[in-house]
Amino acid sequence: MLRLDKYISNATDLSRVEVKRYIKYGDVTIDGEKAINGAQKISGDEAICIEGSAISFAENRYFMLNKPAGVVSATKDNNNSTALDLIFEHRSDELQIAGRLDIDTTGLLLVTDDGQWNHRLTSPRSDCQKIYRVTLGIPITPDYAEKLANGVWLKGEKHPCLPATMEQIDDQTVLLSIAEGKYHQVKRMFTALGNHVEALHRTQVGGIILDESLEPGDYRALTDAEVASIMAPKS
């Protein structure tokens, strides 16, 4: 059971004080009956109205953000702007980052308040492919694709990376697809190949592709199909 005032506050932009004021003046109804006070208990299945307009508790929310450089993938940070600073939604404190990006990495960042969906996305067992556009410091050599496909050894790791696929765009740019999320993994992979990453941009996570209409710092809600693509079992 939920307190009426907390339910309404969570479902709207109203503070608890404002909710109590609406109740006091008889503007809140529960199944057509005037609410008595904010401490009333409800199940959440009732028809709650304020001034005749129905409200309902929001379902889980899912967003894609085109993360700009200089923004950290965190809910709070004392020194830098965070991804959640760019999400202007009610109850934004309930949102969490689903698959982090380094501060200087740009592109697709997913944000949700659905913990199960987040776990499905980020679990090592999910085999969720991430695609990055990688700009390198020096030209690519012909052996990169084979070495990446065989699994690159990273300094300090006990096991090689899982096989990765590479599509060459030009002499110093590739699209890299990986299923893991080790610390600074893409940068370390190309360091192991004798190169270094100049710029890194994530374009896709699983079946979710960054919307090209989003400017850096912009976001939009995911479609139902995009949300479902993460939960769908592999064939």
Catalytic residue list? 102
Structural contact between residues 186 and 162, judged by C-beta atoms closer than 8 angstroms: no
For residues 28 and 52, give the distance between their C-alpha atoms in angstroms, rounded to a whole number. 8
Per the structure block, which two tokens stand in for 89?
């939604």
Four-residue CA torsion sign, 81, 86, 91, 95: negative
Structural contact between residues 63 and 94, judged by C-beta atoms closer than 8 angstroms: no
Give the other-Cβ count within 10 Å of 225's Cβ: 10
Q: Element (H or E) spanning 118, and its range? A: helix 115-122
For residues 47 and 52, give the distance between their C-alpha atoms in angstroms, rounded to a whole number. 11
Ranges of beta strands (E only) in 124-226 are 130-136, 165-170, 173-178, 197-205, 208-209, 219-221
Cα atoms found within 13 Å of the Cα of residue 158, Cβ hemisphere only? 0
* Dihedral angle computed from the Cα positions of residues 28, 31, 34 and 40, in that order, rounded to the nearest 10 degrees: -80
